Structure 1
């Protein structure tokens, strides 16, 4: 059998091994055991994609175990990402109220963040998803607030760009260009027309200059949130590795394998 660390070199291996945890029916503990610091420690992924895969899959395992304790079927691993693209929302039938409540919590949301863009995002502190996040990140409320802000940095930069006088003037020129001589401008102009007008109005050139600069400014303004985000994500990464070591390594050793 290949060494344990070699198995953990790629994201697919991490996904497969962590996915096996759901079959053990084990619960997790808050403290890291000696296996994590010793020979059974998981070699952490080196790529951002691999780190995300490890954390996301560990969260899925914890959620599935929680649902099982509630007497509900776990979500299929391939269904863990919501159609909106948010990995923290599991697609469930709208009429399955028991599953909705078990996953996302009941009653009025306890957590709320109003972004600079004006949108408000809410979440519950109960439910299996919240419990999994507390296990991984240590502080679910802090993670929720930080993640919502960090995930919307580009939207905040784009909002600032739309307030820029030069950008607004270029947008007006683009609108005139994309409006047919006879009749109103379509809600979504033809792609070729839109691209041509973006060049002629100077909108494309202005956007290419403004957006990166404004995003850098937003990131500087949100430096504290970015620092907290990375700290919590690192904590979750190590907790996910500990989850693997605590529950998978003993099973492999029972089959006679060794780690290196």
Structure 2
């Protein structure tokens, strides 16, 4: 979801609807206006190409638009099961320092500043031109039974259509595979092999003075909304988590289980998995040409 949409949740200007229960997504960090980094790989090339197409489309509609940089890895993305990098834990704890910095960057984001400074009617037009006026045209049924819809109009949809060709297939493939990632997390942590590997981790943590049943519990304690821990206290807990994970071999178990369930879920949903790979592969030459053309 684009940050302009996130900024206007309370205004009822959403371009996406969800029927059922689903998890939200975090907003990306802001960058310097009018600049973008050279792509580091295929994924970044595709992302940057989409941003350039959105910028071109929005400017044709009379709006200003700044290229958004890629979001940094959140702790839940970098360490989905357990923090296993003691050096990272000693520096960042559970990453709340990075999150606060990211929130400050978002507040200073030029797209957000531009949006906030616009009159109410203009803000509505900005969001509509970016995301479409109604969450209709694209639809996907997720593996958990939730049905999600999104507008097939607006600059974001136009950019994705130009880049990937089959917009409906792209929408379905991305939404389904994103859901599979969350399902994989639950399957891994519910596996008896994971639970067995957590037992020595928990014993090790008790030796450090912590009585958490699993890494999810220790993370939740340190990252409770509205009750931030002092950074030093957060670092001590995260460092203990990482040290105990490495000592007990928990990262090796989670890596093995993650690969197993990734393959299993791909077999269960071969269409969306194959479509995502195909659409990205076919879009890459177009993306490279768009990036080479620049803004």
Q: TM-score range by the shorter chain?
A: 0.5 to 0.7
1:193 aligns with 2:240: yes
Q: What's the offset of the Cα at 1:115?
A: 4.5
Residue 129 of structure 1 corresponds to which residue in structure 2? 156
Alignment partner, residue 76 of structure 1 = 66
Mapped to 1, the partners of 2:198 and 2:155 lie a distance apart of 45
| Structure 2 residues not aligned, in runs of 5+ | 1-33, 75-108, 117-122, 213-217, 223-235
Deviations, residues 168-220 of structure 1 (Å, cap 9, x unaligned): 34435544543579886562462332134335666344324322222232333
Aligned length: 195
Match runs of 1:39-188 below 5 Å? 49-73=40-64, 75-77=65-67, 79-81=68-70, 92-93=111-112, 95=116, 96-108=123-135, 111-113=138-140, 115-116=142-143, 123-151=150-178, 153-171=180-198, 174-175=201-202, 177-179=204-206, 185=212, 187-188=221-222
Q: Normalising by the residue count of structure 2, what TM-score does the alignment of the two structures yield?
A: 0.51
Q: How has the CA–CA distance of structure 1 residues 83 and 70 changed in structure 2, closer, same or farther, with 3 Å as cutoff?
A: farther
* CA–CA distance in structure 1, aligned partners of residues 237 and 252 of structure 2: 20
In the superposition, relative to structure 1, how do residues 92 and 154 fare at CA in structure 2: closer, same or farther (>3 Å)? Answer: same
Q: State whether residues 176 and 272 of structure 2, in contact with CA within 8 Å, keep that contact through their aligned partners in structure 1.
A: yes
SS in 2 for 1:126: coil
Q: Return the offset for 1:63.
A: 1.4
| Distance across 1 between alignment mates of 2:42 and 2:256 | 32
The RMSD of aligned alpha carbons is: 4.0
Structure whose CA Rg is larger: 1
